Amino acid sequence: MKEIITVTGAVAPKELAFCQCHEHIALSKGTSFAVNPALCIDQMTKSLEELERYRSAGGNSIIEAQPCGCNRMARELQKLSLDSGVKIIASTGFHKLIFYPKDHWIRTLPVPELTDLFVRELTQGMYIDGDFSLPSRQSNIRAGIIKTAYDKEGLTGRYTELFLAAALASSRTSRVVMIHVEQGADPRYLQEHLLNLGIAPQDLMFCHMDRACQDIQIHKDILKQGSYLEFDTIGRFKYHSDEHEITLLARLVEAGYVRQLVYALDTTRERLRAYHTHAVGLDYILRTFNPALLASGFTEKTIRMLSAENPARLLS
Ligand SMILES: [Zn+2]
């Protein structure tokens, strides 16, 4: 088993413990904010407050899913981790192109250079600039995972090149590729494509699957190949109830895929209690959703699998 890279250094897989596998806890005000005002989490005292509550509820680690050049706050993530004691695995890679300015380098940088950039962020340190011009100021804070985004239009145009760079970076570093799956996109074609590029199925995590794909057969097809699914439509009642979420998880556990499921909240500013008193907060799974799982017949052992053992195996 290899070490897991956090913003404060490498840790052994068993040190990960309770981990939510797709969160946002720091996000500077930029193009993401212009697209959606909830995509700005720039008051660090509030981020710290959320992480401290998470820690005292039993949370130990999170994966931060904001990639380079896209309002990521690498230095702040390290400080938040040191101050809160929560381990943070940061992301390199790319997001949906709508989150970048029109003339951004992510749209044009040739694949070999893009691959090198992702690899440098994973092996040396993340850049602290790059939201507008090509990144030049590198920190020694390493990213631990490669974020990607599969938009509605699928593997067309620039996305084919971006996924190729992510796949090459993963092959060179053995780091996991996490994939934002947009509602309405069919991720089976992408999985096949990435497997053909030589990525191991267990190095792929398909995110937001509980709201992106309504057809459970798609979930099973992805799982059958050995990849992980991440669910985060928890406490998001405009999409569906927690009861619906629990039923979906239960069906996949019954189908034999308990070792390939992880969960999170995919927080935005709107979902953090430090900003909005009635929001769910980063500790919602620990305070509310896990007790609901137990009440519906899930065992402690299964919950430990979803929240700690699976993330540790996935990342290592
Ligand atoms: Zn996200």
Q: What is the pLDDT of residue 280?
A: 97
Q: Check whether 153 has a pLDDT greater than 90.
A: no
Q: Do β-strands 91-93 and 145-150 pair in parallel, antiparallel, or remain unpaired? A: parallel
CATH code of the region 18-315: 3.20.20.140
- Residue 229 C-alpha to ligand 1 middle, in angstroms? 14
- Rounded mean pLDDT of the chain? 97
Residue 2 has pLDDT above 90, yes or no: no
Q: Tens digit of pLDDT for each residue in 100-112?
A: 999 999 999 999 9
Structure tokens belonging to residue 117: 């950039």
Q: How far is the CA of 310 from the centre of ligand 1 (A)?
A: 19
Q: What is the pLDDT of residues 223-265, one digit of tens each?
A: 999 999 999 999 999 999 999 999 999 999 999 999 999 999 9
Amino acid identity at 119: V
Give pTM, 2 decimals: 0.97
DSSP for 277-297, please give it.
Answer: TTS--TTHIIIIIHHHHHHTT
Calculate how far, in angstroms, residue 143's C-alpha sits from the geometric centre of ligand 1. 16
Report the pLDDT value the prediction gives residue 166, as an integer from 0 to 100: 98
Domain ranges of the chain: 18-315
What is the distance in A from the centroid of ligand 1 to the CA of 266?
5
- For the cut 70, the answer to whether the pLDDT of residue 1 exceeds it is no
Question: Among 223, 219, 232, 208, which residue's Cα sits nearest to residue 280?
Answer: 232
Amino acid identity of residue 117, one-letter, is L
